Amino acid sequence: MKLTAQVKLLTSSKQAELLKQTLEMTNAAANYISGLAWEQKIFKQFSLQKICYYATREKFKLTAQIVIRVIAKVADAYKVDKDVMRVFKPLGAISYDSRILSYNIETSTVSIWTLSGRQTIPFVCGERQRELLQGQRGESDLCFVDGKFYLMAVCNVETPEPKDVDSYLGIDMGIANIAVDSDGTIFQGKSVKEVRYRHRKLRQKLQKKGTKSSRRLLRNRSGKEKRFATWTNHNVSKAIVTKAKDTGRGIAIEELGGIRDRVTVRRSQKVTLHSWSFFQLRIFLWYKAQLSGVPIVAVDPRNTSRTCPSCGHIDKANRKTQSCFSCVSCGFSGLADHIAAVNISGRAVVNRPNVSDAQSTA
């Protein structure tokens, strides 16, 4: 499996200047190549290479490997569509491969190519990222964010064979509760709600002010909020995967799309952060499960919150309120998110390929 490790470069001011110049020169080259591609209607990487490789090296004094990367970046950008000429930002990310960038994990430094030759730059990252870096292969993107340089390194991670399981822990993701499982466990630190409330209050205050400094503060807040959501999602996904592993079960979640149909969010709420957070939790669950050898499946999300797990009756009216389920046919009732998680769990078992059947017919 491929994961991305993020490391922060501790540049001297001279090195920061060099990296900036390198980004600027490289993106200028990308714009030059993009212009040629657009004029001549040549968009494929190898054809582009033929018409612009030498000219670009000559004009921008870039190393062969960088020029190849830049041509790939331009060709990639035109893959989406060829309706408009692509223009790259002066400090947009560029990708490095092992010939122009190497990591020394022991000394926490990178050796990276710049316009003035290679530079050795110290980096910092968390323990988890450092582990990932052991499997660093292929490309890393050099990014400039809020005045700091980061490398996003693609890393290979060995994953164990998923274990054989008979049952699945169903997971329902929601607004009120981050996640509820089919055992009825609610994953929601109280603190999450409190922090969200505090953030919202502060945001409203800052938005009202509307000054330059309040706008900057607002940006910082949204960064903090995102980091907090990420931290929460890490903890929740870890707890879920550990539980599934310890009880010998797989994990079942809804296929993408189900969430958007079901959850109704008031406009005043920050819809983008919510949907971003859902998506992130899914990704975390997915890779943590794989790393732990816990099978994970996505099931059809239709009517998971309207179906009675007791009698099978499907009815919109089964869902009395956002939080309460009560079957209009048999009277079975409970927490709506829990019921949905039970249905998700049930569908995973039904979906499971029946191995013994396959064997008997063979």
- Residue numbers at the binding site for Zn ion (CB under 5 A): 308, 310-311, 313, 327, 329-330, 332
Can you read off the two tokens belonging to residue 304? 């998971």
The least CB distance from residue 312 to Zn ion, in Å, is 7
| Maximum CA extent, the chain | 78
Q: What is the DSSP letter of 99?
A: T
Nearer of residues 288 and 306 to Zn ion, judged by Cβ: 306
In the bound complex, what is the minimum distance in angstroms from residue 330's beta carbon to Zn ion? Answer: 3
Secondary structure of 251-303 in the HEC alphabet?
EEEECCCHHHHHCCCCCCCCHHHHHHHHHHHHHHHHHHHHHHCCCEEEECCCC
Q: Which is nearer to Zn ion, 85 or 311 (CB)?
A: 311
What is the H or E stretch that residue 173 is in?
A: strand 168-173
Q: Which lies closer to Zn ion via its Cβ, residue 102 or residue 326?
A: 326
> At closest approach, how far in Å is the CB of 319 from Zn ion?
12
Q: How far apart are CA 221 and CA 213, in angstroms?
A: 12
Give the 3-state secondary structure of residue 35: helix
Q: How far is the CB of 335 from Zn ion (least distance, A)?
A: 15
Say if strands 136-145 and 94-96 run parallel, antiparallel, or are unpaired. antiparallel
- CB closer to Zn ion out of 190 and 316: 316
Instruction: Work out how close the CB of 339 gets to Zn ion at its nearest, in angstroms, rounded to a whole number.
Output: 10
Of 288, 185, 180, 182, nearest in space to 238 by CA: 288
**Residue 327 CB, nearest approach to Zn ion (Å):** 3
Q: Which residue has the tokens 């939790």?
A: 281
Q: Of 122 and 334, which CB lies nearer to Zn ion in the complex structure?
A: 334
Name the minimum Å distance from CB 341 to Zn ion: 17
**What is the per-residue burial (b if ≥16 Cβ within 10 Å, else e) of 312-322?**
eeeeeebbeee
Residue labelled with tokens 């002066």: 90
Q: Shortest Cβ distance from residue 315 to Zn ion (Å)? A: 9
Closer to Zn ion by CB, 177 or 307: give it.
Answer: 307
C-alpha distance from residue 77 to each of 154, 241, 262 (Å) = 20, 37, 34
Residue with tokens 């996505």: 298
Cβ proximity to Zn ion: between 85 and 314 the closer is 314
Parallel, antiparallel, or unpaired: how do β-strands 179-181 and 136-145 relate?
A: unpaired
Task: Give whichever of 235 and 333 is closer to Zn ion, judged by the CB atom.
Answer: 333
Partners of 179 in beta bridges: 173, 187
Beta partners for 18? none
